[in-house]
Structure 1
Amino acid sequence: MRESLGIPPDALVIGMIARYHPMKNHALFLEAASLLMQHQKNVHFILAGREVTAENPELIPFLQRFPDRSHLHLLGERQDVYCVLNALDIFP
């Protein structure tokens, strides 16, 4: 999974797997991710779940915090969640 997303082997990978819904608080995750990116450059974030895509109009305001989205991977709904989980170092 990391290789297919272009994530270096030594990068820290933090992820969230949840369908998009305001109560799941993707906004807080993305806010924390943008703050961490200011201090840690070798970190990647993987988000997966129904409607967790860059095309989701409710996520767009939060995605604007990432001028360079190469470290942010929005995968949408996945059937291979186990592969996503295996790619993560931290899963809050």
Structure 2
Amino acid sequence: MTAKLIVDANYRFIAAYQEVNARIAQRQQALALYVTLTVSLLAALVALKPGEGASQLPVEWLVLGFPVSSTCLAFLNYKAERAITNLRA
């Protein structure tokens, strides 16, 4: 025989609240990662300034990093907002 265990509504709300907090923390971590990547790309641009003997700055691969990181942040933020909205509903 299987007995049905009933979970108290308070525990359900506590679990939902913890899930929302976890999603908010994930969103903040994604923002921190984006800031770290952007600052790293800027630091690489500054570090790769051409010297007196160099004629060209190899930034082609760095220039692509900014839109890619911005797009990733936008998608991660959109996904996190949708998850938080669904959990709060």
TM-score by length of 2: 0.28
Q: Greater CA radius of gyration, 1 or 2?
A: 2
Higher strand share: 1
